[in-house]
Amino acid sequence: CGERSFVAHVDDRISQLPDDILEAARTSVLSSRWINLWKHTPSLDFDDKSVLSKIYNQDEVLKIERRKYVKWVNSVLRSHKSTVLKEFRIHFPLNTSGRKKITRWLEFALSRQVQKLELDIHNYHDPCKEYLFPDGFLIPSSCRDNNPCMLVDFKSLRSLSLKSVSVSDGDINFFLDNCPLLEQLIVHESEKVSNLEICGSSLKLKHLEIVLCSKLESLKVSVPGLTSLTVTSLDGLLIENVPMLVDVSTLSLVLDNVEGRRVLGELLELPQMPKLKKLEIEYIARGDESLSRLAALIRASPHLEEFVFQLNWYLHPRKDREVKATISSPHHHLKLFKFGGYYGSPSDVELLSYVLGNCVVLEKIIIGTHSVCLPELEESARKTAKQQLPPQIPRHIELVIL
């Protein structure tokens, strides 16, 4: 009887504790039960944005944070228990001294039937040194099936993204041949890609990006199910048998001003893209020049409904020069024009004037003034846009200035 009264007395005292303490106690009990559940998570995303923002152009900080990053990944992988992964993502500016560790991380992911694999190790401090994708992994599935020691498996891979990873034309073809479920392939900044053919009626590929591969001379794409294509240059680009692309896709171009002057000149010779509905262009500029030649892309896409243009400046863009006259070429389908990186320079005004003067069903213009390379100019650019644009925009067109 005494014992029961003691228990009742204790329960009564506990119930009188403040709610926040009771909640903390409950959480502690749950945490002790759940403490090991993370070891079975199917998604491993090693991306610390807070660290990435503070290491840019900070060599000593980068060295310290790089060691911490490697230690972090190794620690998690040693404790992880799941035999299957949906996602495995590495995003950090690593250098080639960590090659063996990166290879072990890849082996870890590929031995667990990973579905989405992303390796983004772009090193701003030494962009010329790429991580070489290990040849030992590039063994046909028939050979791996007969070798129990070969743990890597590409059969479950649906999305593969390799940024600042050295892969060749043959390596990419290997992925296409040995990843029967692959729907997304992204390759950025590989020096070994030169003459690439991505063709096949049986390919499941829907999204393709081949970006900033400086040695690329030709790219042939023939994939019936492709719905999205992003390329850096039009040089040597041959597109065949892509009915889904012309119906519903986004064609994106990333152009650097150094190469872009020549490429923009070639846009006048573009073939017609009669069913393209959305066009995205990112243009990296180092000085002010007319953007009116981009109008050739609009003219080549008579059914274009959305045009997204992102302008990134490396140098102060605004110069005093006369704005060139707009040519007349009516477009009857463009409804939305997004212009990012607007600063009010003559080249900006020329492009906007072309769109306003020719896109007869235009409904909305979205102006963004954020500059990745020159963030200190953003407020000035926004002020210029608010002063400069409203008087020019007809009332039936919605203007949004971000």
Could you give the maximum distance between any two Cα atoms of the chain, in Å?
99
| pLDDT value at residue 322 | 67
- Mean pLDDT, range 194-208, rounded to an integer: 94
> Residue 334: is its pLDDT beyond 60?
yes
| pLDDT value at residue 298 | 84
Q: Is residue 11 part of a domain?
A: no
Among left, alpha and beta (phi > 0; psi -120 to 50; other), residue 189 is left
Q: Is residue 227 part of a domain?
A: no
| pLDDT value at residue 272 | 66
Give residue 94's pLDDT band: very low, low, confident or very high (50, 70, 90): confident
Q: How far apart are CA 217 and CA 222, in angstroms?
A: 17
Length of the chain: 402
Q: How far apart are CA 110 and CA 137, in angstroms?
A: 9
Q: Is residue 47 part of a domain?
A: no
Q: What is the DSSP letter of 123?
A: -
Residue 45 CA to its chain's centroid (Å)? 15
Q: Is residue 382 part of a domain?
A: yes
Q: Is residue 316 part of a domain?
A: yes
What rounded mean pLDDT belongs to the chain? 79
Q: Which residues of 290-318 are buried (b: 16+ CB within 10 A; e: fewer)?
A: ebbbbbbbbbbbbebebbbbbbbbeeebb
* Residue that is written with structure tokens 């954020």 in the block: 370
| pLDDT value at residue 290 | 63
Check residues 192 and 248 and name the one with the higher pLDDT: 192
| pLDDT value at residue 252 | 58
Check residues 57 and 49 and name the one with the higher pLDDT: 49
Q: Phi and psi at residue 348, in whole multiples of 5°?
A: -65, -45
Using only the alpha carbons of the chain, give its radius of gyration.
Answer: 27
> Residue 336: is its pLDDT beyond 90?
yes
Structurally, the chain folds into a number of domains equal to: 1
Q: Is residue 7 part of a domain?
A: no
Q: At what angle do helices 59-79 and 99-110 cross, to 10 degrees?
A: 30
Residues forming beta bridges with residue 256, ordered by sequence position = 284
Question: DSSP for 229-262?
Answer: EEES--TTEEE-S-HHHHHH-EEEEEEEHHHHHH
Q: Is residue 388 part of a domain?
A: yes
- The model carries a pTM of 0.69
> Residue 30: is its pLDDT beyond 60?
no
176-195 pLDDT, tens per residue?
Answer: 999 999 999 999 989 899 99
Give residue 139's pLDDT band: very low, low, confident or very high (50, 70, 90): confident
Check residues 222 and 252 and name the one with the higher pLDDT: 222
Check residues 402 and 37 and name the one with the higher pLDDT: 402
Q: Which of 388, 386, 291, 392 is nearest to 347 (CA)?
A: 291
Q: Is residue 83 part of a domain?
A: no
Q: Phi and psi at residue 42, in whole multiples of 5°?
A: -85, -5
| pLDDT value at residue 5 | 35
> Residue 386: is its pLDDT beyond 60?
yes
Q: Which of 228, 237, 278, 276 is nearest to 255 (CA)?
A: 237
Structural contact between residues 154 and 174, judged by C-beta atoms closer than 8 angstroms: no
> Residue 375: is its pLDDT beyond 70?
no
Range(s) of the domain holding residue 267: 249-402
263-322 pLDDT, tens per residue?
Answer: 544 454 555 677 778 888 877 666 666 676 678 778 888 889 999 988 877 655 556 666
